[in-house]
Amino acid sequence: MNAPAGKMTMEQLVSLCKRRGFVFQSSEVYGGIGGFWDYGPLGVELKNNIKRAWWKATVQERTDVVGLDAAIIMNPRAWKASGHIDTFADPMVDCRSCKRRFRTDELPSPESRVCPECGGALTEPRMFNLMFKTFVGPVEDEASVAYLRPETAQGIFVNFDNVLTTTRKKLPFGIAQIGKAFRNEITPGNFIFRDREFEQMELEYFVLPGTDEEWHQRWIDERFNWWLSLGIRRENLHLREHSADELSHYSKRTVDIEYDFPFAGFSEIEGIANRTDFDLARHSEFSGRSLSYFDEPSGEHITPYVIEPSMGVDRCFLTVLIDSYAEEEVRGEKRVLMRLKSELAPVKVAVLPLSRNEKLLPTAERVWELLRPHFMTQFDDAQSIGRRYRRQDEIGTPLCVTVDFETLEDGAVTVRDRDSMEQMRVPVSGLLDALREKLPSL
């Protein structure tokens, strides 16, 4: 399969991610396990940079949002209150012959009674809950059943009062959280698009009832612009309004941000929902503790409405890699590069001695030492300089610093720019400042 112009195919992506150490199959030596992935040395850098960019825009730069890091396992009553125990399920059928399991909405037609894989007969549809179950404590009975959270949001709702009293925030204000979520997806796939273990970045933004529709629209715009600020191309993004029959049980209106994936077309990367007062009201009801807000101007206790921008880190990772991938022809040779924004690039600066000549290495190592406290760096002295530039281009390193024989004479190095491939001579004494200027977002 050939990628549309400037877009990589899934095969290219998976192979690049493995070859360069972005993403590995989980427990690959045992044959892997479906829906679980490990992030390698470059992957963990990119993932952390994505999380940092979100946290900066959502918490650090705002005055009305604070952070939280809640436990993955909660009192199971929280999931009864949220509706997940009763409704977080997909209808499934099993094949009586080959034993494969399918979501009914994946079958060629809803009334299919024959297995699409082997032609065997299918069972009646049954609801299959997507929450992973476990047991807390030594006894494995019904009373000790607990769940791995399928979304981070509920940890925020149950802490509403704690955060309100400790921060004295006034409406409107938000609580943001980044953390793992788990869903026993029936059909994980498309690489890290649909996983069974993934990470979410969620903001629950509490507002006065009646102002919710306006705030919802503001957050839709805000979040769309955030994706643009990551460098994602506008033509590959669009908004999709949920129709009435697909709205979640808690939602008054939901708009998804979708990205045009080469393997699946436009698909959800973030959902922005107006969750009304559903969650706070339900947790108040089920816990017996009031999760309300005293509104001074009206002199009464109210249950705030909630606007929720919710996105997956892994899907963002996939989007960023696909969107920044480029192939160029340079002097008759193909060059593959990731046009990553410098704040996202796993490696900011590579230090490259022109050769392994023993006269060059100590100087190159000193330059590397100078930069390490300030930037994520790599040192590479294997193979020709041209090949090393290509290797750095492929992982999106914005700048390369080359130490050559002239450096020994004039104390200057060559700084090469990934996108323009322009090179300039910079004295080592001014190198830090010059790099900082070229990496303004750090």
Residue numbers at the binding site for ligand ATP (CB under 6 A)? 151, 183, 185, 194-195, 198, 200, 268-271, 310-312, 314-315
For the bound state, the minimum distance from the C-beta of residue 255 to ligand ATP, rounded and expressed in Å, comes to: 11
Quick one: 24 or 379, whose CB is closer to ligand ATP? 24
For the bound state, the minimum distance from the C-beta of residue 427 to ligand ATP, rounded and expressed in Å, comes to: 46
Beta strand 412-417 with 265-276 is unpaired
Quick one: 172 or 188, whose CB is closer to ligand ATP? 188
Quick one: 190 or 287, whose CB is closer to ligand ATP? 190
For the bound state, the minimum distance from the C-beta of residue 312 to ligand ATP, rounded and expressed in Å, comes to: 3
Quick one: 146 or 192, whose CB is closer to ligand ATP? 192
Residues in the chain: 442
For the bound state, the minimum distance from the C-beta of residue 378 to ligand ATP, rounded and expressed in Å, comes to: 29
Quick one: 36 or 379, whose CB is closer to ligand ATP? 36
Quick one: 194 or 283, whose CB is closer to ligand ATP? 194
For the bound state, the minimum distance from the C-beta of residue 331 to ligand ATP, rounded and expressed in Å, comes to: 40
For the bound state, the minimum distance from the C-beta of residue 54 to ligand ATP, rounded and expressed in Å, comes to: 12
Query: Minimal CB distance to ligand ATP: which residue?
Result: 312
